[in-house]
A and B are shown apart, each in its own frame.
Chain A
Amino acid sequence: MQPQIMGGPLAGATGGDGFVVFDRVQKSYDGEVLVVKDLNLSIARGEFLTMLGPSGSGKTTCLMMLAGFETATHGDILLDGKPINNIPPHKRGIGMVFQNYALFPHMSVGENLSFPLEVRGIGKAERDEKVKRALDMVQMGEFVNRRPAQLSGGQQQRIALARALVFEPELVLMDEPLGALDKQLREHMQFEITRLAHDLGITVVYVTHDQTEALTMSDNVAVFEDGRIQQLDPPDKLYEEPMNSFVAQFIGENNTLSGVVQQISGDTCTVRLDSGEVIEANPVNVHAPGERTLVSIRPERVEYNRARLQEGAFTLKAEVLEFIYMGDVFRTRLRVAGRDDFIMKTRNAPDAERLEPGQTIEIGWLPRDCRALDA
């Protein structure tokens, strides 16, 4: 799969006006392979931007270049309009939360928080006050004398957050900060972090490989793959209007059917699937008849109840293979157009039918939900 590259400067990445700007940044570790290929990105003041991508996609490298721990091989990184390529990390004034928190084990919580203030030569009284305020902010006021090892994962997380914020940086970087927490705590901290970021008005660059985290927390999400940004959009747009197959498959669950474009007219096109059926689709990323395409449909946009199918909906025959009860939703695995991994999600509504394996049904969807993407 060769995802189509979003050509030219991305939306908003016009350079100069952003708080953080990556301008044609490239990075190579060995002089042979580019880990980051031509990165252009502009982050506004107060924005919560998430870099999302599988491991090895270059997102952490970008974060490290911004923090100053890696140098860009080519291109400029600007912070508040000033290039920072040659400024060492300790002079950048960027707060950072590390993956494993990196709380200093030989210092108490209070000393950990006091550290950034001490190295800035701030007096004891002011330090104590700021430390107290930062700890109260994350509801950890009474833990000031504990050692990091005496805290739970969630508490360490809060301290790491407080430490990154205590010296009042305008920009805070977070490198998979919630990766080590269990699900419930993670969801709670997601909320906590977004609330803090919003209240303090700080700019946050957040790196994660967890798409739920990215969707729930961010103003904008940059999807990384293969050293490039595949798509940069707000969460809803990213989910509903993926611009290429990689994004469609990486974000949320997705059904794909492969075929060949037959004709394109305006905002609809027809695709002949490999199994012979011809369906209508929304031509997002195809340009001419004869092109191979992957058609993508979200499982929750697939409908089998004729009464609920809208006017103009397109139908296909499907055989029920498996019915999974998941509480709030039903998940049905179907054989459609020769593929037996087609998933349909239906809400557990009062009138919802529980389908039996072996049953043959007709499924349908709206042509605009069926996106013809690059193959």
Chain B
Amino acid sequence: MSDETNSGPVLTADGRSLKKSLQRALRREKLRALMLIAPLLLFVLVTFIAPIGDMLFRSVENRIVSETLPRTVIALQDWEYESGEAPGEAVFAALAEDLREAVKAKTHTRLGTRLNYELSGMSSLFRQVGRKLRRMDPDKPWREQFLKVNKKWGDPEVWGVIQTYSSPLTAGYFLNAVDLRLTPRGVEQRPENERVYIMLFKRTILLSGLITFMTFLLGYPIAYLLSNLRMKTANILMILVLLPFWTSLLVRTSAWKVLLQQQGVINDVLVWLGLIADDQRLELINNATGTVIAMTHILLPFMILPLYSVMKTIPPSYVRAAKSLGARPFTAFRRVYFPQSIPGIGAGAILVFILAIGYYITPALVGGRSGTFISNRIAYHISVSLNWGLGAALGALLLVLVLALYALYDKIVGIDNVKLG
């Protein structure tokens, strides 16, 4: 011990720094390791990191206004929304010129669509003026001609929206994603009937938590049984556990539809048994119940496998020792076995929860109106409404949420306590 107190770096026999020597010796090995993972690294970079980066960028990107209407944006700088009036002739002239180019490039409809997210009616406004622009007279005042096409051009709201969203980056999508909106008057809450995302986020977290708990409740005994059986029997049972993996997600989800619907197998049996009246059949599908049932089934293996792999490593001698020390079987389980299986619970819970929170197809098929998740809304914006910015913002929020929960878990349980295999 006392030898190591002399300060300064340790040197090799020929006087060079030991650290550098070691680094040189290990460089070859590191290079080899890098070569081995290079294909995967490249693949992950292209298919995972890049799309996520792109998504994060799209959630704030807003160049469309300043690119389509460059002159108008500059001319609008002097106008103030608070004046309560539409801007003057100069701005209309700039708009006319911008639109002429935009109509030629056919980008004015895209701009209309974009601005329509913020104020409905914008899309048709731009489409209409795009059609009529050719017949306008460049020698007459633009303002009157625009107002003749549509009175709305005199509305300061319209101009306010254009001005508010003229910067190339915007927080508007993120504000939309949490039921707020950016207006010329500043950030304000959406009208009550348009608030949907906060509720969806809450529901997604709540139902995912419930699903995680259900998989734990159902999976723990199975994993316990599996880890205490003989290898041969355990393997056969394991196949049954993994069976859901072997059938297509769609097939399984459809099977749940057959089982759970009001004229379905389960309700029929319950009616036949006389447990429920024929006119009071249970609503088990196309609502939150359906989502929880189907997703618990689908995600169960993700809970069982980590649990099993942890339980397998708990030697039976611990419980025996507890019993020999005088603990009843339940006490031995509670105080000795269960605490040691917590890393498995943690791993399973994280896995199931994170999978559940981003699940899309099952809630879409069996969730109805009350059982859909935030991811269904993201999918809607990506593929139906084509509001990619909002979809990206929702996705980014989901990502942040998952990372935050992960950090929280690390703080409470400790990520070292997670054992995946």
Contacts and interface: CB of A to CB of B under 8 A. Distances in A.
Contact of B322 (A68, A94, A99, A115): A115
Contact of A102 (B317, B328, B339): B317
B315 interface: yes
Given A104-B336, A105-B340, A115 B318 contact: no
Contacts of A94: 324
Contact of A115 (B325, B328, B340): B325
A301 interface: no
A104 B339 CA distance: 10
Given A90-B329, A119-B328, A119-B331, A102 B323 contact: no
Interface string A82-118: 0000001111111110111010111000000001100
Interface string A222-236: 000000000000000
Contacts of B325: 90, 95, 115-116, 119, 163-164, 167
B326 interface: yes
Interface string B326-361: 111101100110011000000000000000000000
Contacts of B169: none
A119 B336 CA distance: 12
A116 B340 contact: no
B321 interface: yes
A67 interface: yes
A115 B335 contact: yes
B320 interface: yes
Nearest to A89: B323
Contacts of B317: 98-100, 102
Contacts of B327: 90, 115-116, 119
A188 interface: no
Interface residues of B, number: 19
> Which interface residue of A96, A164, A173 has the most chain B CB atoms within 10 A?
A96
Contacts of A69: 320, 323
Interface residues of A, number: 27
Interface secondary structure of B, over-half rule = helix
> Which interface residue of B326, B335, B336 has the most chain A CB atoms within 10 A?
B326
Contact of A90 (B315, B324, B335, B339): B324
A115 B328 CA distance: 12
A164 B324 CA distance: 9
B288 to A, nearest CB: 37
Contacts of B322: 104, 115
Contacts of B335: 115
Contact of A89 (B318, B324, B331, B339): B324
Interface string A54-95: 000000000000011100000000000000000011111111
Contact of A119 (B320, B321, B326, B339): B326
A183 interface: no
B326 A104 contact: no
A106 B322 CA distance: 13
A93 B320 contact: no
Contacts of B318: 102, 104
Contacts of A93: 326
A102 B324 CA distance: 11
Interface string A143-164: 0000000000000000000011
Contacts of B326: 90-91, 93, 116, 119-120, 167
A98 B319 CA distance: 11
B323 to A, nearest CB: 4
B329 A102 contact: no
Given A90-B329, A119-B328, A96 B339 contact: no
A95 B324 contact: yes
B320 A102 contact: yes
A173 B317 CA distance: 14
A119 B331 CA distance: 8
A86 to B, nearest CB: 15
A106 B329 contact: no
Contacts of A116: 325-327
Nearest to A121: B326
A94 B327 CA distance: 12
> Which interface residue of B321, B327, B329, B336 has the most chain A CB atoms within 10 A?
B321
Contacts of B323: 68-69, 88-90
A89 B321 CA distance: 10
Contacts of B328: 90, 119
Contacts of A67: 320, 324
A90 B318 CA distance: 13
Interface in B275-325: 315, 317-318, 320-325
B342 to A, nearest CB: 8
Nearest to B342: A106
Q: Ordered nearest first, which 10 A-B pairs have the shortest CB separation?
A: A116-B325, A102-B321, A96-B324, A102-B317, A89-B323, A119-B327, A106-B339, A90-B323, A98-B317, A119-B326
Interface of B: 315, 317-318, 320-329, 331-332, 335-336, 339-340
Given A90-B326, A102-B318, 10 more contacts: A67-B320, A90-B325, A92-B324, A94-B324, A99-B317, A106-B339, A115-B325, A116-B327, A119-B326, A120-B326
20 contacts: A67-B320, A68-B323, A68-B324, A69-B320, A90-B328, A95-B324, A96-B324, A98-B320, A102-B315, A102-B317, A102-B318, A104-B321, A115-B322, A116-B327, A119-B325, A119-B327, A120-B326, A163-B325, A164-B324, A167-B326
